[in-house]
Amino acid sequence: MAGSRSIRYKILTLLVIPLITLVALWVFAAAETTSESFDLLDVTTRYDAIIKPADQLTDALQQEHVLTAEAMALRSESSKAVLARQRGDVDNARDRLKELSSTSAAQDALTPVAKAKYDEMMATLTDLDDARADADDSIETGLIDLVRLNEQISEFADAEQALTSTLTLSDQSLNTQSQSLTLIALSEDYLTRERALAAGVRAVNRDFTPAELQTFWKLATTRRFLFDRGLAQLDPDLRAPFQKFETSTPYGDFQVYETRIMVGQVHADMTLKAWRAVSDQAVTNFRGTLDAVNKTINDRAAPSAVATFLRAGLAGLLGLIAVALSVFISIRTGRSLTRDLGALRATAQDLASVRLPRLMARLKQGEQVDVAAEAPPLQPMAGTEEVRDLALAFNSVQHTAVEAAVEQAVLRESVGGALRNLARRSQSLVQRQLRMLDEMQRGTDDPTRLEELFRLDHLTTRMRRHAEGLIVLSGGSPGRTWRRPVALEDVLQAAVAEVEDYTRVIVYPMPDVSVLGTVVADLIHLFAELVENAAVYSPPKTEVSVRGEIVARGFAVEVEDRGLGLSREEMERVNRRLASPPEFNPADTDRLGLVVAGRLAARHGVHIELRRSPFGGATAIVLLPSALLVGAPALEVAR
């Protein structure tokens, strides 16, 4: 044919695509390695333009904090004058931070996450003036609130630490050391908060109020935890300066005073002057140690970047060699394939035109065949032929295989669609029947009549659940929805109401936790299937208990029966089906309720597992993930 091309052209065309892909991967790898190097070099920019001036501003704010506390307590003109001078220093440091950090080089060195934290940090500087105004009011009125002062002045330091924690490095070792140093820096800030709080109290030689003592306890215990946690992750060279500081006399004296305050042994000898002398020296030494270790980490980053550049160059050279070698091997392989493809034409035509169609026909008739024997792999042969014949042969094979797969898929989808259609019709009728029953119940006062209507209502509710179960099995989703969160205990009670032997089921009191409205219908159905399974496979007069409690990863609900239980093999088989629900097979009707429960659990990330019950039956443990819950206090603390 006029449009046919040579075998050599086709082979080269096929080989060009993977070669281009290989080159693209090589370029991508080189670019990624180089970007890691630039990331390391950005460390210096971030440190000089943002971290260092922010640390200087934090130091100035820490000093303003303690002077503000003293001025609020003393209310003297001299303390006000000292505070005014310190505020001027803070304003200068604030202006310097704004000037250095707003440059394009500094902003380009920040990731999007770090940029968001930077904006939050700068926003706290606007609140500083409000905090000063509150402090001035306290100085004038004498209404001292050192706890509120601690919260207001510390906003910038907290925001800076949040920014620092986002500045991760591609070098895992350096990143670990940097994050550990962030913890220690936060510990130093907590120490300064202790200094300011105690200075405000001892300035007038009074005792700590309960609120002040509680705040001091929190600051002290948090500081110790952060220091120990950060110190444990530093390498020996970086840890040594902090260990020296930890064993120093000023820090030891500070800890003695700190402990005395915490245990309520504040005597007359702990004057403002004595406290400031001890705490100021501890802060000075702590900050000096931090600055020295910070400089060491930044000095390490530059050689690491150079080494990364060298690795990038070596990787690029090796990649280039690999590409050249691939081109050489591809050409040789293409020539060899050109000789063999002609010989494969006849075999491919026989496979596509005779054997595979016959095999597919037998499969459609339900015959058992040995695929390996009926369609053995093609064996390369010597000779030459045209690409057109070979392409037609393989196209025929592909067409036949795809046609069979499509027919099977269409058949399965048709069956599923028919089942969903029938189930939704039944669901619609049941919903109408439930509404009619509700109207009839509201329209009668006869107790006997109401009892009969209630039994009919309960039966209709179970019919609705079975219709929804068929929808779930056929791949659909029930139509019932809730807009607002619903208490989990109400969800369980609703599930029990859809069970035939609901009188045997006891839902024990549980924590006040709600679930999202979007999952209420599926959870009611899920628990109803588990409760009904427990009731069906246990003696008629035994109890089926439902308990729930908050756990670390969400909320656990236990549905326990007192039946004969399952064998170990049967329980393992059921748990496998719950963990990975199989495709619905109309011929398999064994425990369809558990299959429905497994489908619903997989849809929302719920974990279900059956275990042996101490009473001899089985216990179904359902773990609801935190993402589905609303109003779980323990989970909020964990996050």
3-state SS string for 307-362: HHHHHHHHHHHHHHHHHHHHHHHHHHHHHHHHHHHHHHHHHHHHHHHHHHHHHHHH
Pair 618, 534: CB distance under 8 Å: yes
Helices 520-536 and 592-604 pack at an angle, to 10 degrees, of 150
Judge whether 372 lies within some domain.
no
Q: What is the dihedral of CA 108, 111, 112, 116, to 10 degrees?
A: -90
pLDDT at 131 over 60: yes
- Same domain (yes/no): 294, 420: no
Judge whether 341 lies within some domain.
no
Q: What is the dihedral of CA 65, 70, 73, 79, to 10 degrees?
A: -120
Q: What is the number of domains present in the chain?
A: 3
Hey, is 288 helix, strand or coil? Answer: helix
Domain that holds residue 558: 480-638
Spatial distance between the Cα atoms of 494 and 502, rounded to a whole number of angstroms: 10
- Same domain (yes/no): 288, 196: yes
pLDDT at 639 over 80: no
More confident residue, 294 or 527: 527
Please tell me the predicted confidence (pLDDT) of residue 482: 80
More confident residue, 464 or 409: 464
- Residues 228-240 have a mean pLDDT of 87
- Same domain (yes/no): 224, 76: yes
Q: What would the pLDDT profile of 526-564 be if each residue is shown by its tens digit?
A: 898 888 888 888 888 888 999 999 998 899 999 998 888
Q: How far is CA 347 from CA 353, 389, 393, in A?
A: 10, 11, 9
Six token digits for residue 206: 């009074």
The CA R_g of the chain, rounded to the nearest whole Å, is 37
More confident residue, 190 or 39: 190
Judge whether 158 lies within some domain.
yes
Pair 229, 222: CB distance under 8 Å: no
Q: Is 568 left (phi over 0), alpha (psi -120 to 50) or beta?
A: alpha
Please tell me the predicted confidence (pLDDT) of residue 161: 79
- Residues 292-304 have a mean pLDDT of 72
Q: Between β-strands 554-560 and 514-515, what pairing exists: parallel, antiparallel or unpaired?
A: unpaired
Q: What would the pLDDT profile of 347-375 be if each residue is shown by its tens digit?
A: 566 656 666 666 555 554 445 555 445 55
Q: How far is CA 450 from CA 49, 354, 438, 440, in A?
A: 78, 72, 10, 9
Helices 155-166 and 52-74 pack at an angle, to 10 degrees, of 160
Please tell me the predicted confidence (pLDDT) of residue 6: 59
Pair 167, 252: CB distance under 8 Å: no
Q: What would the pLDDT profile of 384-399 be if each residue is shown by its tens digit?
A: 455 455 555 555 555 5
Cβ partners under 8 Å of residue 165, min gap 6: 179, 182
Angle at 199 between CA 152 and CA 93, to 5 degrees: 50
Pair 388, 369: CB distance under 8 Å: no
Spatial distance between the Cα atoms of 342 and 7, rounded to a whole number of angstroms: 9
Boundary (domain end) residue, out of 416, 444, 479: 479
- Same domain (yes/no): 470, 517: no
Q: Where are the alpha helices (DSSP H) in 367-386?
A: 371-374
Boundary (domain end) residue, out of 429, 455, 479: 479
pLDDT at 331 over 60: yes
Judge whether 561 lies within some domain.
yes
- Residues 237-263 have a mean pLDDT of 88
- Out of 49-58, 65-74, 242-251, 331-340, pick the least confident: 331-340
- Same domain (yes/no): 284, 266: yes
DSSP string, 196-215: HHHHHHHTTT-PPPHHHHHH
Judge whether 345 lies within some domain.
no
* Domain harbouring 513, CATH code: 3.30.565.10
- Same domain (yes/no): 425, 471: yes
Judge whether 357 lies within some domain.
no
Judge whether 93 lies within some domain.
yes
Angle at 404 between CA 403 and CA 407, to 5 degrees: 85
Handedness of CA 571, 576, 581, 584 (dihedral sign): negative
- Same domain (yes/no): 415, 529: no
- Same domain (yes/no): 301, 425: no
Q: How confident is the model at residue 276 (pLDDT cuts 50, 70, 90)?
A: confident
Pair 542, 563: CB distance under 8 Å: yes
Boundary (domain end) residue, out of 276, 298, 317: 317
Please tell me the predicted confidence (pLDDT) of residue 104: 84
Chain centre to alpha carbon of residue 146: 38
Spatial distance between the Cα atoms of 590 and 575, rounded to a whole number of angstroms: 14
Tell me what percent of the residues of the chain surpass a pLDDT of 70: 62
- Same domain (yes/no): 443, 534: no
- Residues 444-460 have a mean pLDDT of 61
- Same domain (yes/no): 160, 14: yes
Spatial distance between the Cα atoms of 562 and 539, rounded to a whole number of angstroms: 7
Global pTM reads 0.44
- Same domain (yes/no): 470, 486: no
pLDDT at 587 over 70: no
Total residue length of the chain? 639
The one-letter code for the residue type at 48 is D
| H or E element that contains 622 | strand 618-625
Indicate the average pLDDT of the chain: 74
Judge whether 531 lies within some domain.
yes
Please tell me the predicted confidence (pLDDT) of residue 378: 55
- Same domain (yes/no): 264, 158: yes
